[in-house]
Structure 1
């Protein structure tokens, strides 16, 4: 009996593998071995396709669930996610500012956007979650507002030359339009909403419909099992195939996902798709906790910069599958201001899953995070708690946003005399620290995002640093 490490692959041979014994007769796989090899081939492919498809499935899932939950089904429908229950459905949602979000299909022609002036952060993304164009402070309007036209993959840009609009092209026919008002001033929120209009090429943009006050629990976490593949099949059927994705599309065909054909997997395909989805999720969860494509932002800590790949998700030599899978397993959306922030503009996202001893954090232990004084931000910072299982805001029984997100604008936080602050996460609050505490429950593992809005020079030159969480009795 050989193993995969020392197999001769000639003559008559039996090879012991993790998935069964492969028998060769005169060098040929026997009929029984052929089935095992095809199963292993397709299961491995399913796991790799799972990693590749995460950004696409993340957006399709969100679109479909939002349509059902909020009745956001018409062109120009923007959902306003404001309450904890509304935001808790979004994967690693930012809880400090309301989201205003729309999904639009541009197969019927370019989309015109009239965008409001003000302190906003937003963008248009394609369905691979790549920025098409930023809106607001990090966009070409630089917070002054303006007109945009979003072209589809094959649309002609000529009619919009000299239109005074910023022209951008999406490589997918489905797009995501979103923005946040970076202030809690209700007047600025109201004026931003009044200034937003949407239209098709050849018509005048008209005010959009805002869907507000739904305040219900829901979930945009991608499905496990066959539901993941059903959402992927939907996306594959809607979108054109990019040159960079043809190899992955070839891997999908034996699994029953073929563009232009109904998704109706047989029993064998269903079994392998289920195995592949589980294996793929285990693989990406490992990369999420132990990202081997990058290093901690501050030496000697376990804090990682969340987005560590190019805006295009590829370089001159590779498609950054592992890098983007690590992000899009636990998060949604990117913009230029998120991927490449500069001093005084954009947003910085930092995450950690370990304590100061290098141990994975646990829901049944308590931790302290000491945030040094003078956090280098021109706007504000926040610390938000998420579930490792759902990757959505942590469900700990709290009914208000500060039960799972604390930020520097919160008047209830207790700062130290020197301007620093100690924040706590664990099953119970240390005595006297209730205002600075977020609760964990049972075995629901957790992680955090430390967000910095308009980070300033001391962050970029690393003269200011965030220490690791410390485990406390």
Structure 2
């Protein structure tokens, strides 16, 4: 029998030896910060997803799964930013078609009233919209376009311009024949004298038109002269779906519905070379070309978190565009579209820039975003007041508009919801409830010809005609549109002041 002192010593060393085989017993309290980790040998590392324990440079199954979950979550967040224009326009096509009973490929939906236009993400409320969605998988389409004062274009489903139509298009308002071919067609087969041939990078395309001629008779002329159909087939009259006055929404869905929409449209389109890395990142999330959307429970949870965080990230760069700066010194006004219409430069794909625009808006043509003096349009926006605070629904603000706004056509200010990015739903039913401008009747002017506009819960006494109402706690922003801006806008001798709180 061992002596008690000897027995104690043996027990002590046995415990020490046993503990030496449990690295985490001491190391858990001495975990390394991620930035200082060796990633070697026996180590416990503090990470945003908890402690990761390395044993001989490896980790256990639990740590492995947590790393996979984090990898896929981060990919889902970034995939939201990347896919924003594609999901937005697909939502628009699907929801508009359902709301307006679109049946034929030459059907056009006409949006004219506030309720109709309230479906469009940052839709303008001063000119009628005429929209058609077509699919080039069935063959090229031919457009016989009328002469006149119109602005429009054909967009692919990344909302990049295929071509402008009307005043900013090749016809320059004189009318012409256009042929639009799909991504797998040879455009040269359709080239002929007097025909403008363009190729879309996607099968799905949007044809969008705005009538700028203020004469109501021209709209009827336009409808009677516009013709569209498949190349080689006798063109048929287009059907115009008008005056339905139904509520609908083109705002992209949240939750799993967002990813289902993305999965469906991916299966409708060829994969562009530039998007192959994104397709690789989507595959572990259960979104893969040629396969239905059927994520397992783990993937569903990651996708739900990813779409929510992705939207928060996108909203952050929408209200704080770090790649840009205010257009005028000392103000908080930005050009809403501040990147290339092609969405890429020689070196990068402009993920953040286009996510900003297509989160809060739809469509882009060269005439919209790259105007020249006297042609095109400019969209200015702000989310902050003079003091740099975000605009609130429970405060009333004044916007002072100078007497001489540099436009060859007209200007307007339109109110939008930050939550939906659609025209603000304040209970109004008339267009002027959400937009005011140089064409608004009864607008009260100051003695010098300038205009003070008010946005908030209540109109200041005597300024009801110049007021747009906000409700509840839905933050808001505006687009100040300049149609056919002239030189003082470009040389910045014209400047808008910020909103200021009046009560």
> 2:139 matched to which residue of 1?
109
Q: CA contact under 8 A between 1:369 and 1:468: conserved in structure 2?
A: yes
Q: Is the 8 A contact 1:124 1:176 kept in 2?
A: yes
| Residue from 353, 365, 372 that aligns with 1:323 | 353
Q: Say whether residues 1:140 and 2:170 are aligned partners.
A: yes
Unmatched 5+ stretches in structure 1: none
User: How does the TM-score come out when normalised to structure 2?
Assistant: 0.93
1:34 aligned residue: 64
Q: Which residue in the other structure is 1:418 paired with?
A: 448
Residues 255 and 304 in structure 2, CA contact (< 8 A), matched pair in contact too: yes
Within 2, Cα distance between the matches of 1:6 and 1:343? Answer: 56
**SS at structure 2 position matched to 1:286:** helix
CA distance in 2 between counterparts of 1:158 and 1:93 reads 36
The one-character-per-residue Cα deviations of 1:224-251 (angstroms, maximum 9, x if unpaired) are 0111101100111000000100111100
CA distance in 1, matches of 2:223, 2:145: 9
Are residue 396 (structure 1) and residue 426 (structure 2) matched? yes
RMSD: 0.9
Aligned to 2:332: 302
Match of 1:15, SS state, is strand
Structure 1 counterpart of 2:21:
none
Count residues in correspondence: 473
Deviation at 1:73, TM superposition (A): 3.0
**Cα deviation digits, residues 235-270 of structure 1 (max 9, x gap):** 110000001001111000000000001110000000
Q: Secondary structure at the match of 2:92?
A: helix
Of 477, 480, 484 in structure 2, the residue corresponding to residue 450 of structure 1 is 480
The answer to whether the 8 A contact 1:106-1:174 is kept is: yes
Q: Tell me which structure has the larger Cα radius of gyration.
A: 2
Match of 1:157 among 179, 187, 193: 187
- Residue 454 of structure 2 aligns to a residue whose secondary structure is strand
Deviation at 1:183, TM superposition (A): 3.1
Q: Tell me, yes or no, if structure 1 residue 221 matches structure 2 residue 245.
A: no
Alignment of 1:69-468 (within 5 A): 69-468=99-498
Q: Is the CA contact 1:94–1:384 (under 8 Å) kept in the aligned structure 2?
A: yes
Q: What is the Cα deviation at residue 161 of structure 1?
A: 2.2
Once residues 362 and 103 of structure 2 are traced to their aligned partners in structure 1, the CA distance between those partners, rounded to angstroms, is 21
Where do 5+ consecutive residues of structure 2 fail to align? 1-30
- Specify the SS of the correspondent of 2:267: helix
Deviation at 1:398, TM superposition (A): 0.6
- In 2, are the aligned partners of 1:97 and 1:183 still within 8 Å (CA)? no
**Partner residue in 1 for 2:5:** none
Residue in 2 aligned with 1:15? 45
Superimposed CA distance per residue, residues 130-170 of structure 1 (whole angstroms, 9 cap, x where no aligned partner): 00000000000101111100011121223322242111110
CA shift, 1:189, in A, is: 1.1
Asked whether the 8 Å contact 1:382–1:407 carries over to 2, the reply is yes
Shift, 1:5, TM fit: 2.1
